[in-house]
Structure 1
């Protein structure tokens, strides 16, 4: 087996433990990357995690995970349509530090799956990225996303912003 072999699949409610664990890992890795604090995430009960897992089986969006042969969850992405004007929104993006980079291909593999879903909804995919998350902004730019000039206050610290980026599909 190669060092970076993984499979990608949709999540379901039976994945709730893995979804919880990877979410906590995500927030610990990049606290400003997500719309909830570690303290909030730690308070969620099993029903919340099961609901999040079920998103992968939903017709209203996509939730996928990248999993190694040993069962380790090394990446996740999701998308949903909050309203017709916004169209598909990329959320919950995470790739484990040791699986990042173009040589691995995990980010591209996950993003391709989300983009394939998004094309069934619209001609573009939108995301919001914290203004201080330079690593993520560069990664998105390298994959065809461009800043729109719009921003929204970051919900955990309204003195900071999340920048809107869009990719034409």
Structure 2
């Protein structure tokens, strides 16, 4: 693979914004993301600057956004990893009582799909999470909409297992987001 997987830099907020807006225009965005294109488009430059800063190496320490950079410099995909501690409220769903990483914002541009880019992004994000000494991560989890069968199949293929936990879809409580996880022992 000729792409470079790396963490965003704080000064790349405009590229963070562009890639997120591209993700929110994807045909399955309504079941893949918890926000809309219009909501994100309305966010201020300060919002995007803070988002990039928090997800960079110099950020809070509990968030990293990894991007796949093509040889020509184009950002082809992204995955964000959030660290969740048992003594803090879970960002989404239930806590697990252990230090865990939560994968969100998974996106690969349609023209870059099918070549292993998503796997490489996951490897970068999960390698970072597993490498942390403090907190030591015991599991990595994510949520996938019950109708997002393609994404669920991909997550299973790379080792995630359905946990049986689910939460109502924000905005439509009749639909469910299903938790998938991989434990440190099973990785």
What is the TM-score of this pair, normalised by structure 2? 0.82
Is 1:128 matched up with 2:143? yes
Kindly state the Cα deviation for residue 8 of structure 1 after the two structures are TM-superposed. Answer: 1.4
Q: Give the equivalent residue in structure 2 for 1:51.
A: 50
How many residue pairs align between the two structures?
164
Matched position secondary structure for 2:6: strand
- C-alpha offsets along residues 118-152 of structure 1, whole Å, 9 cap, x if unaligned? 21231221000111111100000100001111101
Kindly state the Cα deviation for residue 115 of structure 1 after the two structures are TM-superposed. Answer: 1.1
Q: Give the equivalent residue in structure 2 for 1:110.
A: 121
Kindly state the Cα deviation for residue 159 of structure 1 after the two structures are TM-superposed. Answer: 2.2
Gaps in structure 2 of 5+ consecutive residues? 87-94
Kindly state the Cα deviation for residue 56 of structure 1 after the two structures are TM-superposed. Answer: 2.1
Which of 71, 74, 78 is equivalent to 2:73?
71
Q: Give the equivalent residue in structure 2 for 1:60.
A: 62
Which range moved further: 17-26 or 54-63?
54-63
Q: CA RMSD in A?
A: 1.5
Query: Is contact 2:6–2:124 with CA below 8 Å preserved after alignment?
Result: no
Q: Give the equivalent residue in structure 2 for 1:10.
A: 7
Partner Cα distance (2:171, 2:18) in 1: 21
Partner Cα distance (2:45, 2:25) in 1: 20
Partner Cα distance (1:27, 1:82) in 2: 25
Change (3 A) 1:63 1:47: same
Matched position secondary structure for 1:92: strand
Gaps in structure 1 of 5+ consecutive residues? none
Partner Cα distance (2:36, 2:168) in 1: 15
1:93-108 equivalences in 2 (<5 Å)? 93-101=106-114, 104-108=115-119
Partner Cα distance (1:63, 1:70) in 2: 20
Matched position secondary structure for 2:121: helix
Partner Cα distance (1:157, 1:151) in 2: 14
- C-alpha offsets along residues 67-119 of structure 1, whole Å, 9 cap, x if unaligned? 11222111100111233244210111111112222xx2211111111111221
What is the TM-score of this pair, normalised by structure 1? 0.90
Kindly state the Cα deviation for residue 15 of structure 1 after the two structures are TM-superposed. Answer: 1.1
Q: Give the equivalent residue in structure 2 for 1:152.
A: 167
Matched position secondary structure for 1:28: coil
Kindly state the Cα deviation for residue 156 of structure 1 after the two structures are TM-superposed. Answer: 3.2
